[in-house]
Amino acid sequence: LMDKLSAGRPEGILSGQYISIDLSSWYKSSLAPKIEKIQQAIECHERIAFDYYGPKGEGHRKLEPYRLVFKWSSWYVWGFCVDKQDFRLFKLNRMSEIEQTGECFKVREYGVPEPPSAVFMKPKVCAKVLFEPEAKWRLIDDFGIDSFKEQPDGKLLFIFDFMDADNLFNWLLSFGSQAELLEPVELRRLFEENIRKMMEKYQ
């Protein structure tokens, strides 16, 4: 797998005659060098330094890398953050200027915990959304055919737990007028306010 993801190598993976797996992405040209550099650092137990861009802003981090993780359709590196003194998961697309520092580290005695989904994807917002019938294919594509209940008028009632309000709002906006947030009521009001601010930019 790592060989296939190397820069300049074919990205397709064939399994027998009937399965073809393509783990490349729009970011392959930038991801492959990152993966190679991080893999080298993991093998040598060498710290890496990089700039990171997240919801709370941007900053410079230093990491003891342990795992390259392909999860939730994206690549991550799992390791011990020197700045936060704790294990963290960093998304490769948000990392830039990755450098091997030349600083070696000892593998931590208590081992390397696996990054469980329950920790990083812990839901905090239970949303109830009413969708127009035209959105059915999107709901099936994103969450499966059992993710909604069809109403007598043909509309689709969708209930799901999201990580946070921003995650929910960004997803809803991609549906345009095909979605109506019903609950939570307080987030419905906040969503309405966000839409109003967007409209002001075009008036």
2 pLDDT more than 60: no
- The shares of helix, strand and coil residues in the chain, as percent rounded to the nearest 5, are 30, 40, 30
pLDDT per residue as tens digits for the range 121-161: 566 889 999 999 999 999 999 889 999 999 999 999 999 99
DSSP state of 174: T
**Residue pLDDT, tens place only, 187-202:** 999 999 999 999 999 9
Residue 15: C-alpha distances to residues 1, 2, 64 (Å): 12, 16, 33
Model confidence, pTM: 0.64
Burial class of residue 130, CB neighbours in 10 A (0-12, 13-18, 19+): middle
